[in-house]
Amino acid sequence: MDPVTHIAAGVLIGQAAKDKFPAGRALVPLAAFAAWMPDVDNVVGLFGAEAYMRYHRGYTHSLLGGALLAWLLAIVVHRFWRAAKTGRLFTLFYLGVLSHLFLDCITSYGTGVFLPFSDARISFASVFIIDPVYTLALLALIAASFLRPASRKAFAVAGLAVMLAWPALGYGVRVFVGKRAGELLAAQGQHVGALHVQPDAFAPLWWKVVAEEGDDYVMTGLNLAHPDALLPERRFQKAGRDELEALGRAAPVFSQYVWFTDFPVKTAASTPDGATLTFQDLRFMAVNPLVAKVRGDIVPFTLTAYLDPTGHLVRALFSQVGKAEVILPRPGPSGPGLAQAAGRS
């Protein structure tokens, strides 16, 4: 979820808990900071694509790691604010951290809440990663809590209720969309396997639908303003996990991509110097046409392999919105399987 929504959640928690602490102006800003604090792991982006995929929304976003962050912050704050008890500060800050984990888990990115015991990325995708309606509703209740001090706590509690209720509504709509999309695909005579539904920009109105059909993914969507027709279909070839692992023997970022992605797809192209294999995750593609107008053809977390005529990796390019990183293979033999991987493309 975006930083503004995380901070808004922290402000609401601070406003709701204000009467449990000694008077002081720092409480609400500290609660807001605690709610944002897990995103300190964005610094791992300085260490490259592989580190970012592996560690963002990782240890600082786990139940255990978040508790440690909250405890450290409570100890530091208590040294400067002796009237506030460390245990009570920890409870407040950990609630802020938990709000962060909750807001991240309701998006499709995935969050490692059980690290270090499990590296499973948890997602109950019901809200798009940026949801103006959701965020503005929280900000409006925050404004009301400051403008009406006598009703501060009531507005803050109402804001926290909205924070929980909106994703619950989205999850219910997601279940409906999955059922409706299955009916529409069946009516078209399509016999698909697993069906996956994720919020798209301006959910809960727009939803992305990913259907598995043999070696392909079929991506479509549903606009609830027109629930009787699916959006135009786009078909993608699934990326072979063994293919990515073979490339990973030359550059580990490809092996990391296997773990990171949910719906990996590939596009192959010939070049004068050999071939390219471009890998993307349908998780980061949108079906709402407005996104295409704003973002164009850029898809975050695109990984491209440049192969020589023998199928060996020459270099890789990892692209996010606004930046790209060139990755060179390890010195020495590229490892077996790369030529075969190029041949399967």
- Extract the tokens encoding 172: 């219910």
Q: Is residue 20 part of a domain?
A: yes
Range of the domain at 269: 239-344
Residue 217 belongs to domain with CATH number: 3.10.450
* Per-residue pLDDT, 23: 82
50: confidence class by pLDDT, cuts 50, 70, 90: confident
* Percent composition of the chain: helix, strand, coil (DSSP 3-state, to 5): 50, 20, 30
* Per-residue pLDDT, 342: 40
Q: Look at the pTM and tell me if it is higher than 0.85.
A: yes
* Per-residue pLDDT, 333: 55
Q: Which run of H or of E encompasses 213?
A: strand 206-213
- Extract the tokens encoding 180: 């409706």
Q: Is residue 163 part of a domain?
A: no
Q: Is residue 170 part of a domain?
A: no
Considering the domain architecture, whether residues 231 and 266 belong to the same structural domain is answered as no
Considering the domain architecture, whether residues 330 and 258 belong to the same structural domain is answered as yes
Q: In what order do the strands lie in the sheet with 274-281?
A: 195-199, 206-213, 216-223, 234-238, 264-271, 274-281, 302-307, 313-320, 323-327
* Per-residue pLDDT, 49: 83
In total, how many domains does the chain have?
3
292: confidence class by pLDDT, cuts 50, 70, 90: confident
Considering the domain architecture, whether residues 90 and 71 belong to the same structural domain is answered as yes
pLDDT single digits (tens) 181-225: 999 999 988 877 889 999 999 999 999 999 999 899 999 999 999
Q: Is residue 134 part of a domain?
A: no
Considering the domain architecture, whether residues 336 and 246 belong to the same structural domain is answered as yes
pLDDT single digits (tens) 296-319: 778 899 999 999 999 899 999 999
Considering the domain architecture, whether residues 65 and 19 belong to the same structural domain is answered as yes
Of the listed ranges 24-28, 119-123, 195-199, 230-234, the least confidently predicted one is: 24-28
- The pairing of strands 313-320 and 323-327 is antiparallel
Considering the domain architecture, whether residues 231 and 250 belong to the same structural domain is answered as no
